[in-house]
């Protein structure tokens, strides 16, 4: 397997550089990481899969660009959970080092693509909400399904391209440059660039939602002042305001869960990390899974359309279950009556 220099632990790990990044030293730490990844990952895949099903099984919901962006967010969280859990557990819990540099960078690229696409989907949703609230009369003309799908295509291609740069050659082994202390084979300059990309995304999302909340407050004040004129347009405004507040909650959870990881990444660029901080980073990484797990819960509790669709699915499931339970009794009753006749 290819090796390259690790600035922090070069004296400790002179043989296999992958072992330098296996910071979990006790069995209890490995079991804890395994349980957290298994629990959060399983719940994340189940919940986001349910969100995707609710969106694309309902013709009225899947036609709306807002829910196409939410569907992209759910898909990104599903992919991130699967790839992230498998790679993290194999690496830190089972200490698997039998794969090549290319395979590791491919896994890392998949995780980066998914999490970057998750953030980018939030940005598109923020822009969608801003247009819907600031220019409601022109919203349907500006935000069409074709434009929404085009934006999603550009989003995923851009995120995948940026995430795969280390695999394409921008890594410390090919460049013989300084390696990151948190990720094997990753060049410090690439990590700095990726962090700048993520910080810019977060800044744009926060800026857009600040305007969304400001316009939402204006609309709420307007509707309270003109109660007698409440009609179809104001009803739609209320739905836009509700969805905007829901997505702000999603953003708040995102910032809280990602802040520890991003802070440690930024700190690692300017200073060397102790083994204790590297262990903290490994545990904080599971907060990204927690974020992906909480998002669908917020949708179900705050989105009336998704919640109504969820109720219809459960009602249909209960009817099928009840029919399955009653069918043997009905058949036996029919047989007994035929015998008596």
The pLDDT of residue 238 is 60
**Predicted confidence (pLDDT) at residue 13 exceeds the cutoff of 50:** no
In a domain, 315, yes or no: no
For 76-91, give the DSSP string.
HHHHHHHHHHHHHIII
The confidence band for 335, taking pLDDT boundaries of 50, 70 and 90, is very low
For 196-250, write each residue's pLDDT tens digit: 998 898 888 888 877 777 776 776 666 666 654 555 555 555 655 666 677 677 7
Q: Provide the pLDDT for residue 243.
A: 62
Cβ neighbourhood burial of 337 (10 Å; 0-12, 13-18, 19+): exposed
**pLDDT tens, position by position, 304-334:** 788 788 888 888 888 888 887 776 554 454 4
Number of neighbours of residue 11 by Cβ within 10 angstroms = 7
Distances (CA, A) of 175 to 186, 208, 292: 10, 38, 34
The whole-number pLDDT of residue 332 equals 52
Residue 18 maps to a domain: no
- The token pair at 277 is 């901080």
Within a domain: 86: yes
Domain count, the chain: 1
**Residue 81 half-sphere exposure toward CB, CA atoms < 13 A:** 27
Q: Give per-residue pLDDT as tens, 282-303.
A: 888 888 888 888 888 887 667 7
- Asked if residues 190 and 171 have their Cβ atoms less than 8 Å apart, the reply is yes
Q: Is residue 334 part of a domain?
A: no
Residue 15 lies inside a defined structural domain of this protein: no
158 belongs to a structural domain = yes
Supply the range of the domain harboring residue 167: 24-226+236-303
Strand partners of residue 186: 171
Vertex 172: Cα angle to 171 and 174 (nearest 5) = 75
Task: Look at residue 97 in the predicted model and tell me its pLDDT.
Answer: 67
Q: Decide if pLDDT at 8 tops 60.
A: no
Token pair for residue 166? 């280390």
Band the pLDDT of 114: cuts 50, 70, 90.
very high
Kindly calculate the radius of gyration of the chain based on its CA atoms and give it in whole angstroms: 25
Q: What is the CATH number of the domain that holds 279?
A: 1.20.1070.10
Share of the chain above pLDDT 70, in %: 80
Query: Quick one: average pLDDT of 263-279?
Result: 87
């Amino acid at each position: 397997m290819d090796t390259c220099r690790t600035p922090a632990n070069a004296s400790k790990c002179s043989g296999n550089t992958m072992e330098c990044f296996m910071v979990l030293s006790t069995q209890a730490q490995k079991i804890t990481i395994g349980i957290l990844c298994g629990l959060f990952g399983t719940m994340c895949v189940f919940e986001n899969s349910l969100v995707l099903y609710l969106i694309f099984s309902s013709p009225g919901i899947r036609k709306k660009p807002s829910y196409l962006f939410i569907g992209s967010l759910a898909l990104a969280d599903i992919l991130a959970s699967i790839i992230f859990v498998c790679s993290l557990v194999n690496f830190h819990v089972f200490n698997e080092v039998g794969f090549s540099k290319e395979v590791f960078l491919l896994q890392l690229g998949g995780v980066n693509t998914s999490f970057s696409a998750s953030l980018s989907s939030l940005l598109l949703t923020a822009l969608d909400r801003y247009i819907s609230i600031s220019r409601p009369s022109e919203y349907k003309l500006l935000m069409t399904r074709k434009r929404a799908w085009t934006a999603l295509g550009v989003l995923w291609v851009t995120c995948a391209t940026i995430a795969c740069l280390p695999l394409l050659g921008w890594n410390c082994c090919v460049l013989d440059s300084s390696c990151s202390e948190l990720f094997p084979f990753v060049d410090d300059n690439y990590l700095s660039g990726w962090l700048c990309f993520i910080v810019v995304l977060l800044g744009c999302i926060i800026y857009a939602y600040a305007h969304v909340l400001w316009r939402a407050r204006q609309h709420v004040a307007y509707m309270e002042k003109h109660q007698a004129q409440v009609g179809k347009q104001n009803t739609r405004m209320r739905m836009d305001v509700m969805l905007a507040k829901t997505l702000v909650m999603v953003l708040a959870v995102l910032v809280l869960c990602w802040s520890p990881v991003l802070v440690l990444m930024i700190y690692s660029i300017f200073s060397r990390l102790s083994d204790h901080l590297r262990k903290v980073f490994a545990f904080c990484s599971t907060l990204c899974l927690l974020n992906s797990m909480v998002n669908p819960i917020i949708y179900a509790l705050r989105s009336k359309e998704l919640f109504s669709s969820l109720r219809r699915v459960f009602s249909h499931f209960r009817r099928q279950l009840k029919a399955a339970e009653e069918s043997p009794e009905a058949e036996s009753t029919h047989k007994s009556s035929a015998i008596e006749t």
